[in-house]
Amino acid sequence: MQPQQSEWKDQWTLLEDQEQFLFLDWIHPFTLEDFRGLEVLEAGCGGGQHTRFLAPHARSVTAVDLNTAELARQRCQGLDNVQWVEADIAAMDLGRRFDVVLSIGVVHHTDDPEATAANLRRHLKPGGLLVLWVYAQEGNGWMRWLVEPLRRVFLAPLPRRVVLVISRLVTALLYAPVHTLYRLPLRFLPYYDYFGNFRRLSFQRNLLNVFDKLNAPQTQFLSRQRAEGLTEGLTDRRISPYMGVSWRVSGRAPLEAASPV
């Protein structure tokens, strides 16, 4: 079982996310309409930012995270069809299965992404849909070889409020290149597509993105092959890149002989 990882609770206490277009991009080619009337398991709900989008469409949402249930419940008052659960999505056994299991930006932060995905697949009803969004190994050289090592050595021991101040500074510094150099047709630049989104988002949302990278207690960047493996045993398997730095992965549980939870 993973330790409680208080960094995440701190992240969702300090910052909020209200941006829907990113969520819709991450679940593409599916839309919120695809979840209408269905029982959805949201694995790694953080402060409930996506639960708010899902609940009006789904029949029910079971929103799971390590330690943010109370925070998310407070942020999402009035959503009567949501059940908040504190559990480790890699090890939990909720004792029931779902039409949709959705996990956005979480599996790559667990100890063993393959084991976590296997546990999520075990929570699918026959014919149920698994939708994941994970960080890619491809396109993330700077994150893997520079940012992550620096984070581990220098940022991990610091109080989260100090990391927030550093993140604010980094976010502000990124504005100059992103609005000049990155507007030129220089597609060979690292994170070229990714910074296109940076121009669309508010400072506060960009800050959350930067803080998220500097705060995450552990991250694995998954090669295409590993990302594809997350839907092992499923049918209708799909994978597509997003902004050159992440994978959208999905698949359906076979109609017959889905393994019991």
Ligand X SMILES: C[S@@+](CC[C@H](N)C(=O)[O-])C[C@H]1O[C@@H](n2cnc3c(N)ncnc32)[C@H](O)[C@@H]1O
Candidate list 76, 90, 131, 210; residue touching ligand X; CB under 6 A:
90
Q: Which is nearer to ligand X, 4 or 235 (CB)?
A: 4
Minimum distance from residue 187 beta carbon to ligand X (Å): 27
Q: Is the CB of residue 128 less than 8 Å from the CB of residue 254?
A: no
20 to 49: interface string for ligand X, x by CB under 6 A: ------------------------xxx--x
Minimum distance from residue 118 beta carbon to ligand X (Å): 13
Candidate list 212, 226, 227, 247; residue touching ligand X; CB under 6 A:
212
Q: Which is nearer to ligand X, 94 or 127 (CB)?
A: 94
Q: Which is nearer to ligand X, 10 or 99 (CB)?
A: 10
Secondary structure (DSSP) of the chain: -----HHHHHHHHH-----HHHHHHHHTT--GGGGTT-EEEEE--TTTTTHHHHTTTSSEEEEEESS-HHHHHHHTTT-TTEEEEE--TTT---SS-EEEEEEES-GGGSS-HHHHHHHHHHTEEEEEEEEEEEEBSTT-HHIIIIIHHHIIIIITTS-HHHHHHHHHHHHHHHHHHHHTGGGSS-TTSTTHHHHHHHHHS-HHHHHHHHHHHHH-S---PBPHHHHHHTTTT-EEEEEEEETTTEEEEEEE--SS-PPP-
Residues numbered 68 to 87 that lie near ligand X (CB under 6 A) are 68
Task: Answer yes or no whether residue 8 interacts with ligand X by CB under 6 A.
Answer: yes
Minimum distance from residue 11 beta carbon to ligand X (Å): 7
Task: Answer yes or no whether residue 106 interacts with ligand X by CB under 6 A.
Answer: yes
Q: Is the CB of residue 17 less than 8 Å from the CB of residue 208?
A: yes
Q: Which is nearer to ligand X, 44 or 128 (CB)?
A: 44
Task: Answer yes or no whether residue 88 interacts with ligand X by CB under 6 A.
Answer: yes
Q: Which is nearer to ligand X, 110 or 206 (CB)?
A: 110
Task: Answer yes or no whether residue 109 interacts with ligand X by CB under 6 A.
Answer: yes
Task: Answer yes or no whether residue 148 interacts with ligand X by CB under 6 A.
Answer: no
Query: Which residues sit at the interface with ligand X, rule CB under 6 A?
Result: 2, 8, 17, 44-46, 49-50, 64-66, 68, 88-90, 104-106, 109-110, 212
